[in-house]
Amino acid sequence: MTHAVLITGTSSGIGRATARRLSRHPQLTVYATARRTEAVEDLAAAGARTLALDVTDESSMKAAVDAVAAEHGQVDVLVNNAGYGQFGTIEETGLDDVRRQFETNVFGLARMTQLVLPGMRAAGGGRIVNVGSMGGRLVFPVGGYYHASKYAVEALTDALRFEVAPFNIKVSLVEPGLIRTAFGETGSDTLAGTAGASGPYARLNAVADRQMADHYRSTLLSAPAETVAKAIEHAITEPRPRTRYVITPAAKALVQTRRLLGARVFDALLRTRYSGTAD
């Protein structure tokens, strides 16, 4: 008997690495999804089945879940991976951009969860893995709206884990630090789109953009997507998965620093990194 694994957002990065890794398991049938199936054709060659899925579209989400249920009875494992970073200052970022990010990062995740839970309950169990971020535990400047979406994922995951435990449904949260994918480039692009060449935050935006590029290139501060895929595999296959998986040593250090030292000290550390950014 195989278990059906539905993964959102597999056209690149963490989702793609996870689909490839899980497709090697003979007891897992992996459904790799993207808005356009041609973006995941190579995953089909690697052993995954492919489906069109847009987590901002109700009919698309329902159709994908129904397609898996038609073949397997239900989705046994849901990996909520789809998401992206919208960067910019709180003042300068347009709220339409913020709404689009929350539609993908939060509401899409929530709706996919709602759609798979009836089948999991009827089957007597299941797994849900939400891909959050270390950015759900601490905040950097010009990332406030992205961080807000990941803080929301933290809250939803904690509530869900308790609510579905009586139905033998296990829920884990994966919190990557900096992962060497296109995420950093996307974040830089969105920052460029919201920030003017001049203005009250011009220096801050320039420093943040430079640091984002440098940190994502650093092999000391970042890790490959395969590292996250391994954690997701553990959350899916182990009898007692962890509630949280913080990925990369740098992320673990930052999360603990923020937790132990508090807001004032963490703000002081940030000021040393972003010094001289105010006009």
Catalytic residues: 146
**What whole-number distance in Å separates Cα of residue 233 and Cα of residue 228?**
9
Contact 220, 250 (CB under 8 A): yes
Residues 6+ apart with CB under 8 A from 140: 147, 208, 270
**What whole-number distance in Å separates Cα of residue 36 and Cα of residue 54?**
9
CA angle 247, 143, 90 (to 5 degrees): 160
Residues 6+ apart with CB under 8 A from 35: 11, 52, 53, 54
Which is it for the CA torsion 208, 219, 21, 122, positive or negative?
A: negative
Which of 134, 59, 54 is CA-nearest to residue 100? Answer: 54
